[in-house]
Each structure stands twice: as structure tokens, then as C-alpha cells.
Amino acid sequence: MNSRSRITLPRPLDAHLHLRDGQALATTVAASARQFGRAVIMPNLVPALTRCQDALAYRDRILAAVPPDLSFTPLMTLYLTEGMRREEIDRAHDEPDIYAVKLYPAGATTHSDAGVRHLDRVMPVLERMAELGLPLLIHGEVTDPDIDIFDREAVFIERVLIPLRRRLPELAIVLEHITTAEAVAYVQAQSGRFAATLTAHHLLHDRNDMLVGGMRPHFFCLPILKRREHRHALLAAATSGDPRFFLGTDSAPHARSAKENACACAGCFTAPAALELYASAFAQANALDRLADFASRHGAHFYGLPVDAHECTLIAESWQLPDELPYLDGRIVPFHGGQTLAWRLETER
Ligand code: NCD
Ligand code: ZN
């Protein structure tokens, strides 16, 4: 096989992943462990993971669900609330398995009710994080009902992020799952420890894919898919080689019955074929040679971790992704379920 039909890369790191809890872990952890060596685990459980001890107990439940033939390291995060104390930040900093704190504006997305309403109320905690070098991961959307859902990310940058950066320029930040040209330009203009994650679904799709010819709930996620021009800006950033842009799937599982519903839940379950989906996006941009940096190196570098010593290989070979997988007491539809994919991932055992 020539080099174009086979790409070997260090096992990738997923810098933004939802695994849920309990029985769901049997499906979600296996799916991610087949693809990734490590993942930054989102804390939006119910109740939210606001204390180190809760995040570490969750980590043990995740590890117990890793299939015996695979290795997978969860990098834990805490859920920022207005009631969080500076002491919790000190504990998180001392705890080697906790890597970051997540900011959900209250009401912005799934399980964000416990999130932050007024940034002023968490400033002492953010100041402590800046002192200790603990990164803040941001869901960057305003929740103001007067702001159109398609504008919520760009308005967040203007109203929240720019003032926050002015107040606390040394705070390390990852702007999560960016979806707009405005966010790309903003990240490119930053200096210091500031980065952004990009999902496979936002690199591959625009809002027409979700809304033209029928409403497709499996494409519904937050931040919502935007216009085609935004997708092109995201793809250019992901494939630029700039280390501030790296892989974060935002794989967010919801049961088939919750997605195919009059009030569909937001979230795309991309984990089962995540690398293959990113490979299709990079192939579109003729940039497969940049995939290893984006998927396996830049994120590790941001978190001060070594690049994974194990490798995996993407092979240009078509295969069909299953329509659905068992999940809880029902089924779940993987993103692009039932479709033929152009790449297949093989992981070194
Ligand atoms: C996520 C979820 O379901 O937990 N949903 C989503 O659409 N991405 C939450 C989030 O990251 O916004
Ligand atoms: Zn998410």
C-alpha cells in the first residue's frame, strides 16, 4: 500500500468528550477507547461534578468500563459553579488526574443548569486558576434569549471572552468546539496559553445538512451547525498546522429515542468513528499529512503531556458503520450510522 492509503499516527487524544455514567459507560467508554488513548472528560453529569472527590470516583467508574484489551486514560475536569471555593481549585491542582475546570454558562446546553450566571461571582476562583496554571475550558455561547442561536458564539466572544481576557490575561483557556470564522480569527489573534478544540461534525457539515430536505436530529448539537463559510474557516484552521487548534470530538451520546423526538436532545455521538470522520475532513482539504499533529500532538502539548507512545493506523478501506448500537435499555445511533466510511482505523494492541 502506498503512503496515501495508509496513515500511521500516535494514538490520538480527544480533548473534549462526554461519556455519561452508569450503564451508559459500557457503550461509550468502549467506543472511545477503540479510538483514543486519552480523553478530557466533561463533568456535566447530574449532579454536576463540582468536587475533586466526585471527579476521581467517576474516573474509577470509567476505568472499570475500559475493555480488557485496550488502554484508555481519562483526564478529568471539574464543573465550575458560582458556589465553588478556591480550596477546591488548590485540591484540583494538587491532583494529578484532574486537568481543567469547565465553564458552562447556565442554560447554554445539556446539563448546564448548575453553570455560571454571573462571571463576577467566579472571579476569585478564576484568579486562583490563573495563579496555578489550571486551564479553564469554555462553552462559548451566550444564553441571552434576545440573541439568535446562530450568533451566540460570536456574541460570547465580544461580551464575555474579550472582557475576561482583559481582566485575567494569564488564565489558560480552551475555547471548546468552535463553530465560527469569528472564533477562528479570535483564537489566531491570542498570545499565551490559549487554544480551541474542533469537532469532526463541525468540520464536515453545515446547517443545510441538518435542515434542507427534512430536519435531521442526529445533526443537532450545541453550538449549532453554522453556514458553509464558517465550516470552511474551521477546516482551514484545523489543517493549518497551528498548534492552538486541536481535536476535541464533543461526542455527546443521547439514546435514539431522545434524538428522534419532538424535542430532540443536542449532541452528536461521533466517538465510534471519530478518527475516520476527521480523516474524511482532512482529506477534503488535501491535508492528511497534518492530521497527526492535530489529533495526537497539539492537545497533548497544551496539557503538558507526552505524545502517546502507541500508534494507530488509518487505512483507506471502505466499511459500513453500524446503524445503531446498544445503549442503556435501548439503542443509540452513531453519527453517520449506516453510512460507508472511506477510512478504517486499526489500533495497535
Ligand atoms: C453536549 C451534551 O449532550 O452533553 N451536547 C452538545 O450538543 N454538544 C453538551 C455540550 O457540550 O454542549
Ligand atoms: Zn461538549
pLDDT the model gives residue 1: 46
Q: How confident is the model at residue 347 (pLDDT cuts 50, 70, 90)?
A: confident
Q: How confident is the model at residue 110 (pLDDT cuts 50, 70, 90)?
A: confident
Mutate to test the pocket of ligand 1, among 42, 79, 109, 269 (most ligand atoms within 8 A of CB): 109
Strands (E), 180-328: 194-198, 245-247, 311-320, 325-327
Residues 6+ apart with CB under 8 A from 269: 31, 251, 252, 253, 254, 332, 333, 334, 335
CA dihedral 191, 200, 227, 20 (to 10 degrees): -90
**What's the average model confidence in pLDDT over 21-48?**
98
Mutate to test the pocket of ligand 1, among 197, 198, 201, 250 (most ligand atoms within 8 A of CB): 250
**What's the average model confidence in pLDDT over 209-223?**
98
Query: 155-202 pLDDT, tens per residue?
Result: 999 999 999 999 999 999 999 999 999 999 999 999 999 999 999 999
Determine which residue's CA is closest to atom 9 belonging to ligand 1. 110
Out of 3.30.1200.10, 3.10.129.10, 3.20.20.140, 1.20.1560.10, the CATH code matching 12-309 is 3.20.20.140
| Cell numbers placing 52 | 475533586
User: 221 in ligand 1 pocket by Cβ < 6 Å?
Assistant: yes
Average pLDDT, the chain: 97
**What's the average model confidence in pLDDT over 82-109?**
97
Report the percent of the chain where pLDDT is more than 90: 97
**What's the average model confidence in pLDDT over 30-58?**
98
| Cell numbers placing 170 | 494569564
**What's the average model confidence in pLDDT over 313-339?**
97
pLDDT the model gives residue 276: 98
Domain boundaries, the chain: 12-309
pLDDT the model gives residue 204: 98
Query: 261-300 pLDDT, tens per residue?
Result: 999 999 999 999 999 999 999 999 999 999 999 999 999 9
Distance between Cα 309 and ligand 1 center (Å): 30
Q: At residue 132, what is the residue type?
A: L
Give the predicted TM-score (pTM) of the model. 0.98
